[in-house]
A and B are shown apart, each in its own frame.
Chain A
């Protein structure tokens, strides 16, 4: 399976990344090398093997839904690139 430059552009868009023309060429080559390497997995007979989503088997870790102390709005906003009144994140206009 070969990935085209157009596909790389599409994936970049999905990943919210922007690349220059040169970078796109470089990534297309590198991604193709890496994807052709991982393609060797096609040769493994995996039949009905259950996929592992975690390293060790775990059931859902439930807990009681209790109110506990958490970060104050001031603390939660302390690292925001842009904020207002210690109460809101500021983002560009969306609608």
Chain B
């Protein structure tokens, strides 16, 4: 049989139900591949082979008994900012290096209940703050399509592991593009659902009004399957929304007649690389052939999105990260003479430079005398950005845009200039500010063979529209790229 690790989830599920393979065999295949290839990719912070094989045995029994669901027996990877009881959860930070959660995040509990297998925990920028996974306190992750390049971030481990076939699919989290941008850079599908669609109980908080968990998968069908599995109201997350979850797979269709796709003109200007623009335009042409009507729309406050985000996200982060004080859990510095010194030493030794930078920006913006000028102003601009989206969606069902201005840059290329790194988030952060869903799907390869993604955005709780557009595009494009060999 050919390399099983390259199969999408929906195909693996067919092989499992037909009893052509077992989950134990499949899990072993991934574990062997992780042993062989992960020293090059560096996607995993923690691999849990014993637990995974135990879960696989249980899943095989369930399949034997005819009680399998779409994810039963499927080996997945998890971004290391989601708590799994008894398994170290580090957030790629020294401050949580030895933290072993006493409870499991709701999304992981849901996947567990459906019989999914967890292979381990995946690398990220420390506390999900970054766009390249270079801010991990442990090591950077490499792009499977070219090891000299970044995989994107902050869910770089999740995207790289999925693309390098070191898991069948993965979970990431997205505060300003952290699922969609790495998915685009690694040639996989990534979705940030609507704020409130998926429970965040057990997700280590970064910016609570923006954070959302979502799937990173090999194709759009897998994205629909995983989104289905993790969506829904959770009484342990008061920001999750009690709304019916539609059947996402049922929405997949190659016929886009009746769908209007808006191209927001602000996303197609300065700063967008020629290669990316060409890839997007080609994809739009295909969508039109599939029956979609293409119109130009406008989201005029886009130019302020980065400024708005880099006040709101650090402000919320500075407050959320106040909990790391060396008292209740996590790292505590040695040698201190009083409580204040213990706090300062613990936090200064435990956090990396980007996390400190954001805590500093956030603390400053929230400090006495500056709150109105920064946080309040940014929150008002956020309303304007949200209103832009509402207006644009009166004229279209879905918006199509680039995900990142360029293909993945080289490791080390932007680490000295934090502001330049922030500016690369331009196309993804507005969806977090407005709370709408966004999905990235591969649409082209650069001349040097790096993947390029296109983003679909839809109104609140209309994830199925982004899935439908992405599925039609994916089917029309066919296999235009291969999975990297390891």
Contacts and interface: CB of A to CB of B under 8 A. Distances in A.
Nearest to B419: A33
A52 B364 CA distance: 20
A56 B194 contact: yes
A74 B351 CA distance: 27
Interface string B296-340: 000001011011101100000010001001111111100011111
A17 B356 contact: yes
Contact of B310 (A1, A11, A16, A34): A34
B345 interface: yes
Contacts, number: 167
A34 B99 contact: no
B360 A11 contact: yes
B307 A38 contact: yes
B209 A55 contact: yes
B210 A79 contact: no
A94 B339 contact: yes
B308 A41 contact: yes
Given A18-B344, A27-B357, A31-B361, A81 B326 contact: yes
Contact of B435 (A38, A42, A49, A56): A56
B357 to A, nearest CB: 6
Interface string B430-449: 00111100000000000000
B363 A80 contact: no
Interface stretch (B126-134, B222-230, B378-386): B378-386
Contacts of B326: 81
A15 B360 contact: yes
Interface string A49-92: 11111111010010100000001000110111110000001011
A53 B339 contact: no
Nearest to B307: A38
B64 to A, nearest CB: 33
A15 B102 contact: no
B293 interface: no
Nearest to A49: B380
Nearest to A7: B364
Contacts of A80: 327-329
A35 B365 CA distance: 9
Interface stretch (B13-21, B157-165, B233-241, B450-458): B233-241
A3 B286 CA distance: 50
A34 B238 CA distance: 33
A81 B346 CA distance: 11
B330 A81 contact: yes
Given A11-B363, A44-B381, A92-B342, A55 B434 contact: yes
Q: Interface on chain A toward B: helix, strand, loop, or mixed SS?
A: loop
Contact of A34 (B318, B418, B432): B418
Contact of A1 (B239, B329, B373): B373
B432 to A, nearest CB: 7
Interface residues of B, number: 72
Q: Which of B331, B336, B367, B433 counts the most chain A CB atoms within 10 A? A: B367
Contacts of B328: 79-80, 89
A44 B384 contact: yes
A40 to B, nearest CB: 5
Nearest to B423: A37
B367 A14 contact: yes
Nearest to A48: B380
B99 to A, nearest CB: 6
Interface string B68-107: 0000000000000000000000000000001110110000
B118 interface: no
B364 A11 contact: yes
A31 B99 CA distance: 31
B50 to A, nearest CB: 21
B359 interface: yes
Q: Which of A12, A14, A15, A89 counts the most chain B CB atoms within 10 A? A: A15
B343 interface: yes
B382 A81 contact: no
A35 B373 CA distance: 11
A92 B380 contact: no
B344 A79 contact: no
B460 interface: yes
Contact of A51 (B301, B329, B351, B380): B380
A50 B19 CA distance: 58
B201 interface: no
B348 interface: yes
A30 B347 CA distance: 20
Contacts of A34: 310, 357, 361, 418-419, 422
Contacts of A52: 209, 379-380, 382-383, 386, 433
14 contacts: A1-B373, A3-B364, A16-B340, A17-B356, A38-B378, A40-B303, A49-B384, A51-B383, A52-B382, A53-B379, A79-B99, A79-B102, A81-B332, A89-B328
Given A33-B418, A44-B384, 19 more contacts: A3-B364, A11-B363, A12-B360, A14-B363, A17-B344, A31-B360, A31-B364, A38-B311, A41-B304, A44-B377, A44-B381, A46-B384, A49-B380, A56-B241, A56-B435, A58-B239, A58-B241, A61-B238, A80-B328
